[in-house]
Amino acid sequence: MDVGLIVLDHRLRSEELSPNGSLSVMELPLSAHQRTVLRGRRRTACGREVLLQLPRERALMPGDRLTDSHEQLHVLVTAAPEELLRVEAATPLALLEAAYHLGNRHVALELHEHELLLLDDSVLATMLNGRGLKVTRCCRPFMPEGGAYIGHQHS
């Protein structure tokens, strides 16, 4: 293992957070997909390499704090900006139909009252434009819906 590589193997619960703020805190920007993969090398916002070795409990969420076995530092998970499509419609029904068609293709979606966000995909952009929807590109953090079975476990 690399010297200086930080191994993050523990999620901190809110009651474990240091109230005095004396610990070093680094930010770990992750894409929506990276937040679902709990093992592997990543790079903090300041360029420090870390190795995730977390229990497979649930996906990481922005705001989660991770630490090493010595709890010498805290790493704050943030949502990294991603290249997205922003979909708007003239009517709520047209936006609902777009969500239906994208969901039928198992596309990860971030849902809002007046817009849908999805990862940039030229084929989907063409399909949505063909349905008369306004499609624009943007770069921002992506927080897709977790799905109907989030938190579901088999006994």
Do both 17 and 66 map to the same domain? Answer: yes
pLDDT of residue 19: 52
Read off the tokens for 46: 């300041």
d(CA 73, CA 4): 13
Domain assignment present for 65: yes
d(CA 129, CA 131): 5
Residue 63 and residue 99 share a domain: no
For residue 122, the enclosing domain spans 81-141
What's the rounded Cα separation, in Å, for the pair 28 and 5?
14
Long-range interactions of 120-123: CB distance < 8 A, separation 24+:
120/83, 120/84, 120/85, 121/85
**pLDDT for 114:** 97
3-state SS record for 80-92: CEEEEEEEECCCH
Residue that is last in its domain, among 32, 52, 79: 79
Do 121 and 132 contact (CB within 8 A), yes or no?
no
Of 52, 79, 106, at which residue does a domain stop? 79
What tokens appear for 25 in the block?
Answer: 């805190």
Residue 78 CA to residue 100 CA, distance in Å, equals: 29
Q: Are 30 and 78 in contact (CB under 8 A)?
A: yes
* Residue 132 included in any domain: yes
Q: Supply the pLDDT for residue 154.
A: 37
Average pLDDT across each block of 10 residues of the chain; the chain has 155 residues. List them in order. Answer: 78 67 82 96 95 92 93 92 98 97 96 98 97 98 78 41
> What pLDDT is recorded for position 1?
46
Residue 123 Rama label (left phi>0; alpha psi -120 to 50; beta): alpha
Same-domain status, 74 and 15: yes
Provide the number of structural domains found in the chain.
Answer: 2
